[in-house]
């Protein structure tokens, strides 16, 4: 099971890396009332990192709740 998770994470990381390398043109992003111009690759990387961080935090939260129940 751990090998499957490692393989899935590796495949996703490789796909994100390919996506980032192929999207280098600048793009304007609207954040609330501000407009930020950045390479598309940076925006994809920030989105992927935020998703990863949220996944880790959610997993840690669920694990701590399970420990408290037992």
Average pLDDT (53-57) is 91
Helix ranges restricted to H, 1-70: 2-22, 40-69
Q: Give the pTM.
A: 0.62
Q: Identify whether the C-beta of residue 27 lies closer than 8 Å to the C-beta of residue 59.
A: no
d(CA 13, CA 27): 23
Q: Report the percentage of the chain scoring pLDDT > 90.
A: 13
d(CA 55, CA 62): 11
Quote the pLDDT of residue 70: 63
CB atoms within 10 A of CB 44: 18
- Please give the structure tokens belonging to residue 17: 């890396």
28, pLDDT greater than 80: yes
């Amino acid at each position: 099971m751990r090998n499957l998770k490692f393989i899935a994470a590796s495949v996703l990381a490789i796909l994100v890396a390919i996506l980032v390398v192929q999207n280098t043109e600048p793009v304007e992003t609207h954040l609330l009332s501000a407009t930020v111009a950045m390479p598309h690759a940076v925006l994809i990387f920030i989105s992927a990192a935020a998703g990863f961080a949220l996944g880790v935090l959610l997993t840690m939260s669920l694990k701590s709740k399970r420990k408290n129940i037992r």
